[in-house]
Amino acid sequence: MDRRGHGQSEAGSDYSMQKEFADVVAVVNALRGPVFVLGHSYGGVCALEAAFLTNKIVKLVLYEPPVQDLDHTAIADTMDQMIRSGNREEALITFLEKIVMMSSNEIAAMKAQPSWPARVAGVDIQIREIRALSRYHFAPDRVKTLRVPTLLLMGSKTASPQLKQAIRSLMDSLPHRSLYVFEGQEHNAMDNLPDQFAEAVTNFLLGQNRVSATI
């Protein structure tokens, strides 16, 4: 599904993360039978929270969801200023460098993707998500109650300490979780190693849970 402001979904008004969670639930509940949900980054937070709101999600796959309490509103302010100055691409690169902490090589790989122009055009959406995420609170005791089997994904070269800590927190909190680490990768292994990514996810969904290195 395309989340609010992404792909073919309109941005909508009066934005909140809770509406994002409800959107996932609406799609899940509209489908027949049990549902698997995969979420990447911010989408991973939405997938995780949706699992508390419906019993139709029977497996989760979360790739580096930023569930740690953090506040990047100062960077969002800087990005806003860049956009007002006409530097939309610079604003997006600032997000990738300062928040996701991607390497120059990883950013260059993203620039080569056909989706890059759309990412630049939609950087305003990224800013509102940064601001919304600053108000999100991760509650380990609550997460411990989630019974859904969950595969956590991460790149071995992911530089962001917040994303690393988020995986650690989820490993400590989720009662039914496993971990797969993409060696030599950062935040976008699905773009760089699509076959390996698909294999890791499919093995988990078919019941072959795989746990990789500790972090």
Report the alpha-carbon distance of residue 145 to residue 127 in Å, rounded.
Answer: 31
Instruction: Tell me: do 175 and 146 sit in the same domain.
Output: yes
pLDDT per residue over 74-127, tens digit each? 999 999 999 999 999 999 999 999 998 999 999 999 999 998 999 999 999 999
C-beta separation of 67 from 166 below 8 A? yes
Domain, as residue range, for 163:
31-69+139-205
pLDDT tens for 162-196 read 999 999 999 999 999 999 999 999 999 999 999 99
Domain containing 54 — which CATH number?
3.40.50.1820
Would you say residue 129 lies in a domain?
Answer: yes
11 found inside a domain? no
Residue 10 is inside which H or E element, if any? Answer: none
**Same domain, residue pair 58 and 45:** yes
Residue 11 backbone phi and psi in degrees, to 5: -70, -35
pLDDT band of residue 212 (cuts 50, 70, 90) is very low
Average pLDDT, the chain: 92
The CA distance from 134 to 188, in Å, is 22
C-alpha dihedral sign at 30, 36, 42, 45: positive
Residue 208: which pLDDT band, with cuts at 50, 70 and 90? low
Say whether pTM exceeds 0.75: yes
Residues 118 and 158 in one domain: no
Domain presence at residue 123: yes
Could you tell me if 173 and 191 lie in one domain? Answer: yes
Write the secondary structure of 66-134 as one string of H (helix), E (strand) and C (coil).
CCCCCCCHHHHHHHHHHHHCCCHHHHHHHHHHHCCCCCHHHHHHHHCCCCHHHHHHCHHHHHHHHHHHC
3-class DSSP state for residue 198?
Answer: helix
